[in-house]
Amino acid sequence: MPIVTAHLCRAKRWLAGPVMAATLALTGCASADIGLLQPVATHDAESRQLSMLAVTTRKPDPDKKGFLFGHERDSAVHFVRLTMSMPKNREAGTLPVSARNPDPRTEIALLKAVPLSYAEFKAEAATPVDPAQMTTTRAMIFTHGFNTRFDQAAVRFAQIVEDTGFEGRPILFSWPSQGIPTGYGYDKDSANYSRDALQQLIDGLAQEKSLQRIDIFAHSMGTWLTMETLRQMALSKDRGSLDRIGTVILAAPDIDFDVFRTQVSQLGPLAGRIKVYVSADDRALQLSRRLFGGKIRAGETTDLAKFRALGIEAHDISQVKGGFGKNHGKAFGDGQTIAGIGRTLSSKPGPISSSLQHLVVAVPRLDDALLVATDQNNL
């Protein structure tokens, strides 16, 4: 992705108007000194309040306004509750934000950020989102992609939660992306650095009896983190937690398809719960392919038969227009597509396919053992 200068950002905002300016703010034109999570002084009465939990392996960055956390890795895991203001009549797939003087009448904005202990986090995760409900039945973890700051991930996830109509407990897992286009190597290492923390998060949620299902929505390099974590759990025979995994959404997965195939081979029946969204014109993944020896990325593989052979449901959204970051955000930047993902998340995971037993011949293996997970339809 090209490096965008401050002068070019100002020119683009002037030429593009308010809608495109909001998009530029999230794709490299956000102010370098002010983030998107500055609490607004007043709440618009017509705006909806959305509460989410956030878990991060980033170091806090209290000296920079609106960021909360920076790009440095921390040996501690941090927990925070974010209360967001969602403007009325926002069009699905759009992300109106502002780093300077956010207006809750027209833009997604932060109302309050409250640090939590791990005990407080777990108690809140197990508490019903709607007080009228007797139980909490679902949680959804979001893992963002490359070149994404904490504040950017937070507002994006707020948009995804509202546009999918998700009614469970939303949980942002933010790993230490450097948040710059030239930070690809640092970001890949940071994603790997965060695998254990993500596994511990899933394990902790799986222990909560009120959470019957844990969905995952991953984008770009966040899909690498997600797949590596699930593979790690499968290899360690972490069946109790894997059985609680519901639907796994992989949007524009930035994973070498050969490597993706080996990851899937370790997941056994869990692969039947994965839904992939791919696009042939994803220019960010085309660049990634060039960086990694010309090997096609899973997110640009539009031969859907290759996914079906792995027992995975895949959707080709090449015909969908736009999406931030060189067609890289189509899955949540298009109203119809994100609504379709919402319908997928609202349904129970499909039955486990017996055809997954044939995966053992698809990759190099020394044995034919496959982890057997419980069919969620029988829960």
> Tokens in use for 154?
């937070």
Token pair, residue 307, equals 């996914």
Which residues of the chain have a pLDDT value below 50? 1-30, 353-362, 368-379
Per-residue pLDDT reduced to its tens digit, 85-116: 999 999 999 999 999 889 999 999 999 999 99
Quickly list H helices, the chain: 6-16, 18-24, 118-125, 150-164, 184-193, 195-206, 221-235, 239-242, 257-267, 283-291, 304-308, 324-327, 330-333, 335-346
Q: What is the pLDDT of residues 177-200, one digit of tens each?
A: 999 999 999 999 999 999 999 999
**Crossing angle for the helix pair 195-206 and 118-125, nearest 10 degrees?**
50
CA distance 307 to 303: 8
Provide the residue count of the chain. 379
- Taking the C-alpha atoms of residue 357 and residue 268, their distance in angstroms, rounded to an integer, is 8
DSSP alpha helix (H) spans, 126-220: 150-164, 184-193, 195-206
- What is the per-residue pLDDT for 148? 97
CB 73 within 8 A of CB 190: yes
Domains of the chain listed by start with CATH number = 6-378 (3.40.50.1820)
The answer to whether the CB of 244 falls within 8 A of the CB of 211 is yes
Stated as kind and residue range, the H or E segment containing 78 is strand 69-86
How far apart CA 71 and CA 61 sit, in angstroms, is 9
Q: Which pLDDT score is estimated for 271?
A: 94
**Are the C-beta atoms of 85 and 108 separated by less than 8 Å?**
yes
Instruction: Look up tokens 């309040």; give the residue.
Output: 49
Torsion region of 13: left, alpha or beta (phi above 0 gives left; psi -120 to 50 gives alpha): alpha
Query: 10 Å Cβ neighbour count for 315?
Result: 18
pLDDT at residue 135, rounded to an integer: 58
Structure token digits, residue 269: 């029946």
